[in-house]
Structure formats: C-alpha cells, structure tokens
Structure 1
Amino acid sequence: MVRRYLGFSVDEWDRLPWWQQRLYVEELDAELSGPDQGDGQSSDEALLAAGFRIE
C-alpha cells in the first residue's frame, strides 16, 4: 500500500534500505490514523526532520 501511495515501482521500493521503507510505512500509518493518533507532524515535516529532501 505504501509503495502504491508514494508511486514507487516494485524495483524502486526494493532498492530502498529497510529503515527508509519502515519510515515510510510508519509515517503513512500515522497519517491514515488521523491527527489525534499521530505525533502532530505532517509526513513532509517528519521526512524533513529525518534529513530527506522533498522535491
């Protein structure tokens, strides 16, 4: 589900390190759980805080 949501092909997803896949899965879970279930950060904010570039 995360792969499709983010638009990754199977090969692109498989090339990601395990920790990055886990980050995406956890952030999508928090986003889909609703605002009162997450930590208050948007997924973009969380990715920026983790050191990722968003284009």
Structure 2
Amino acid sequence: MTRYTAAQYGKDHIRCNGMAPGLILTPAAKNNMPQAVLDIFGKFNALPYHGEADDIG
C-alpha cells in the first residue's frame, strides 16, 4: 500500500511512509501465544527483544 501511494502521489511531492513494527507483546499476545511461537518471532526480529505497546506509542 505504501509503494502504491508513494507512486501515485510522489509526482505531487507528497511522501508516504510506513511502519511495520513486527510482533508487539500486548497482554493478549502474552497470554495466548505459546513460547515456541514467541521464539520463532524472536529468531527473525531485528531487535534482541519483542516490542512492547509503549515502543509504538
């Protein structure tokens, strides 16, 4: 979606940025995801920890 928007509106000098934070450990995620799934997300995470809701805010 960001590529499309940037291509459509770039000619009008309008930029489009996106953010894809990955896994954010909300209370629902913490209570419903098995540790094996969290480990898989951690394996491909650029940071050495999972994001928290405050990281987004």
Same fold (TM over 0.5): no
Q: Which has the higher contact order (CA 8 A, sep 6+)?
A: 2
Between structures 1 and 2, the one with greater helix share:
1
Q: TM-score range by the shorter chain?
A: 0.3 to 0.5
